[in-house]
Amino acid sequence: MTDFLDDIRTSYDTVAPSYAELVQDGPSFEADALDLFAKLADGRPVLDVGCGPGRVVSLLAERGLQVTGIDLSPGMIEVARRDHPDLDYRVGSMTALDLPAAGLGGVISWWSIIHLPRDVVPQAFAEFHRVLAPGGILLLGFHLGDESTHKTTGYGGHPMNVHVHRWQPERLSEIAVAAGFTPSPDPVIPQDCLLFRK
């Protein structure tokens, strides 16, 4: 497991400042999705896993949530702390969250599982489930499709060495249910965004 985590960490350390400059906007439905997430979290603390430079953490804090951002890349966390110094950012891996069980009202994974090998994604879902309190929610964004590609440059032409895995929603739902989640009846917008409850 160390090799792919090291590759992700090094790649995003390399691109962190450029990423923060170039990726300023989320998808068109993001505001509605975050509003729903904030409503369903019901005032409980939440976690942004794979928070990058902290943009979504800031948006969730604006919605009144007590939010922590975790990212594998120290470079990304450095940028997040620079740009949002009053918010809580920590270095960590979604495959082994350094958090107590059953303490959160929500976890958001916003296009952050895409670099995990497919056989490791169930481990991340198990961690999401572990840290959520009963009734907690998981909001997941991902790239839609079946293929996997090798990304060697990005975000201003900097070198990277990560794999990008696309997913079908049905397969991710199967993994989530196996981890103990229930698909939420709440509307979540498009195909590449899913909502689950513990």
Give per-residue burial for 39-59: e unless 16+ CB within 10 Å, then b: ebbeebbbbbbbbbbbbbbbb
Q: Where do the domains of the chain lie, and which CATH numbers do they carry?
A: 2-21+28-197 (3.40.50.150)
**Confidence at residue 189, expressed as pLDDT on a 0 to 100 scale:** 64
Maximum CA extent, the chain: 43
**How many CB atoms lie under 10 A from the CB of residue 118?**
13
Give the C-alpha separation, 92 to 80, whole Å: 14
**Confidence (pTM):** 0.96
**Is the separation of the CB atoms in 53 and 80 below 8 Å?**
yes
Q: Look at residues 54, 60, 56 and name the one whose alpha carbon lies nearest to residue 76.
A: 54
Question: For the chain (length 198 residues), average pLDDT per consecutive 10?
Answer: 88 97 90 94 97 97 98 98 98 98 98 97 98 97 96 96 96 98 79 92
Q: What is the pLDDT of residue 185?
A: 78
Position 188 scores a pLDDT of 64
